[in-house]
Homo-oligomer: A and B are copies of this chain.
């Protein structure tokens, strides 16, 4: 049998070569008894009685595959775990599907699989089922990853982007725009004195800590593509409310802000991959912020605004100099290959 340190088209053919790749390079690293059955689907035993399941999917096409603060594997696990967490679900299992371009160094795939393993462990989920496809050179930019996920929603939790209410405080768990800016710097070969790092992280633990203390969270949303501008507009539209944000309260690192200025980017539309926007009754907000700050992914948590009106979906930014402007949903975006 040929040995190869690159992925070959034949690795996707359904034969021995594929089975060896799946078993030795992927499954043996992620090992768990369900994945290792290698059946067409994973069988999960649901012991609880009736309840609510959250189900989500996301494909990841980030370029480069490795970047400061993460890689496509960490991103793929975090992104899907976070989509489940945003509904108040406890993430339980994920699926993992690779589309690999022939010629991808096997060592890169191995590094990514290890990163997936570490991130899944951190998020307390396991990879239950998977798939590998190989496409011809020029077909997939090295590697695309899809992760889908299932989580269970605890009784009494009712978190949704449709659920923000008049009087709610709006909170964020830390610095914005780090992910998009670091991908952009990486891709364009830009070097600043202080380099930014992606904030890419699974938020299941942080969200679990919040919901463990405070059940009455109305809304959570991760501001990924389109940044907090897009996420806040989605909340405003889905909940039919107007939201006011204080520019001076939005946490942003100096280096990230400087890079945005230099690149001519509005940090509000730059992607994040480890942030959550929370809307909850104002009286509970200090407790949410305190709970966030005790967690590694919430050290710079802050109240950044409030829900000020009903019926007219809009997002208003109170600027640092005392003015105000409407933040629109961005149209397209400047950084397409960031997630």
Contacts and interface: CB of A to CB of B under 8 A. Distances in A.
A15 interface: yes
16 contacts: A1-B331, A10-B333, A12-B225, A13-B225, A13-B332, A14-B330, A15-B331, A16-B330, A39-B87, A42-B54, A44-B55, A55-B129, A57-B148, A59-B144, A61-B140, A146-B148
A136 B55 contact: no
A74 interface: no
Contacts of A53: 43-46, 150
Max chain B C-beta neighbours (<10 A), residue from A8, A271, A330, A332 = A332
Interface of A: 1, 8-19, 37-61, 82-84, 86-87, 89, 93, 95-99, 128-131, 133-136, 138-141, 144, 146, 148-151, 153, 160-162, 221-222, 224-227, 230, 234, 238, 269, 271, 328-337, 339
A48 B46 CA distance: 10
A16 B222 CA distance: 17
Contacts of A8: 332
A156 B57 CA distance: 30
B55 A226 contact: no
A42 B9 CA distance: 35
